[in-house]
Structure 1
Amino acid sequence: MWRDEDVDAALAAAPDYCGFVVDFPKSHRSVTPERAIELGRALAGSGIVRVGVFVDADPETIELLVLAEAIDAVQLHGHEDAAYVRDLRELLDTTPLGRKARIIQAFRVTCAADHAAADLAAAEKSPADLVLLDNGQGTGEAFDWSLLADGAPTRPARPFMLAGGLTPQNVAEAIAVTHPYAVDMSSGIESAGAAGAPQKDPQKMIDAVAAVRAAGKE
């Protein structure tokens, strides 16, 4: 889970986005909605887009964090369908704050080529503002990036975020192959803490941001 020092590390690294897994106990990164509000407010004014990551969450919980000005974007990483996304958009659009919040929907891209094509076609049709393509729900493994290469028939026509197995060492290659709108790292910027549990690694965070920005200039 996020510690106060992790917020300091994020501020020092200055990524474009910073995400919190909210109310999903299966993840060691999960924080309560109350803690997410604290973390989000600690990043307020930094210029970092604060993202709440939710898994099949009650839409009212998401709305609460948006209205508390704790998050600027919503990432859906569960079994949410198009109807859920549209209903959430309608709910958030009832307030000026909510209308500003972008909705990002994650899609798992499986390894088998025929299944991957179907996964990417589904992402193409999502009513979300932006889609995120991942190997799975926090697996920390990459999928076949060539599926997203320029000219590949499976590459979505819409902008996408890339996730899954990204590290400061391989993210430049991933960007060169896929040309994503943005990248999402989690396990790749963690190291084992004193108790053995993964924790955010300040140096890896800095290295990751530097690698992404250098790759963007090439």
Structure 2
Amino acid sequence: MTRVKICGVTSAEDREAVVAAGADAVGVIHGVPVETPREVDEGTAERLVGGVPPFVTSVLVTMPATVQEAVRRVDAVEPDTVQVHEGLSPTELGALRRRIAQQVVAVVDAAADDLGAYAAQADALLVDSVDESGAGGTGETHDWERTRDLVASLDVPVVLAGGLTPENVAEAVETVRPFAVDVASGVEERGGVKNHDAVSRFVANAAGGAA
């Protein structure tokens, strides 16, 4: 069964809707050097993560410049998992894994050539369509056939992101067969605010694609 992460949760109301829809993971964005309506401050990130119930994974999504910065954010927010975007090399990701108890998900560009190096140092890879700053959440899809080949060739779980919506997630799951799918803007009514009906349909349709 393909797992589902709903990312960019900014309020307790949206967090509860994501959990009620049956999502496996709740993503909270904090500590990114790019403009996004989905980022929250440290205190809000800590409260949102702290309210995620047992058996649902809380994920801190961040873009640290150094290993120490990543460790400090993880220690402050205390998520179950940390998702690292642009900023750390594969070697630095390995150092981060050794310093924290949480699992580390490395975000990589679908078109990158060094995915194997990141896979060797991370607990999972999230394959996204990233912009020039290295941030995801672009709302753009990428080559699903290429990502399907990655799923078959890599030894770590692969999470599919980039341009997913309730309308295309079943096809994406059927094509790629990823460990999980990740969505942010594709289930929003406006930046940083989730459409609860879209969240429910996304979760249901992802399960349908994995059937």
TM-score by length of 2: 0.83
Q: Distance in 1 between matches of 2:61 and 2:43?
A: 14
Question: Higher relative CO (CA 8 A, sep ≥ 6), structure 1 or 2?
Answer: 2
Amino acid at match of 1:3: S
- Shift in Å, 1:17: 0.9
How big is the shift at 1:26? 1.6
Do the aligned residues in 2 keep the contact of 1:168 with 1:204 (CA within 8 Å)?
yes
1:88 to 63, 83, 96: 96
CA RMSD of aligned residues (A): 2.3
Aligned pair partner of 2:199 in 189, 199, 205: 205
Gapped runs of 5+ residues in structure 2? 1-8, 131-135
Indicate conservation of the 8 Å contact 2:151/2:178, yes or no: no
Partner of 1:157: 154
C-alpha separation between the residues in 1 aligned to 2:64 and 2:11?
24
Find 1:54's aligned residue among 45, 50, 62: 62
In the alignment, the residues of structure 2 paired with residue 19 and residue 153 of structure 1 have an alpha-carbon distance, to the nearest angstrom, of 23
Shift of 1:9: 1.1
The answer (yes or no) to whether the contact 1:109–1:119 under 8 Å persists in 2 is: no
> Residue 58 and residue 200 in structure 1: after superposition, are their counterparts in 2 closer, same or farther (change >3 A)?
farther
> TM-score scaled by structure 1?
0.80
Determine if contact 2:127/2:147 at 8 Å carries over to the other structure.
no
Identity %: 30
Query: Is the 1:190–1:198 contact (alpha carbons within 8 Å) kept by the matching residues of 2?
Result: yes
Aligned counterparts of 2:64 and 2:173: Cα–Cα separation in 1: 29
Matches within 5 A, 1:42-191: 42-45=51-54, 47-60=55-68, 62-64=70-72, 66-67=74-75, 70-92=78-100, 98=101, 101-110=102-111, 116=112, 118-123=113-118, 125-136=119-130, 137-149=136-148, 152=149, 156-158=153-155, 159-191=157-189
Structure 1 unaligned spans of 5+: 93-97, 111-115
CA distance in 1, matches of 2:10, 2:29: 9
TM superposition shift of 1:63:
3.5
CA displacement at 1:170 relative to structure 2: 0.4
Match of 1:13 among 14, 17, 21: 21
Distance 1:53 1:210 in 2: 24
Query: Following the alignment from structure 1 to structure 2, what is the Cα–Cα distance between the partners of residues 69 and 3?
Result: 15
Once the 2 structures are TM-superposed, how far is the Cα of residue 28 of structure 1 from its aligned partner? 1.2
Counterpart amino acid of residue 130 in structure 1? A
Matched positions, count = 196
Q: 1:166 to 1:103 in 2, by over 3 A?
A: same
Q: Which residue of 2 aligns with 1:113?
A: none
Q: Deviations over 1:79-117 (max 9, x none)?
A: 31112111111211xxxxx2xx1100010123xxxxx5x
Aligned to 2:153, the other structure's residue is in SS state coil
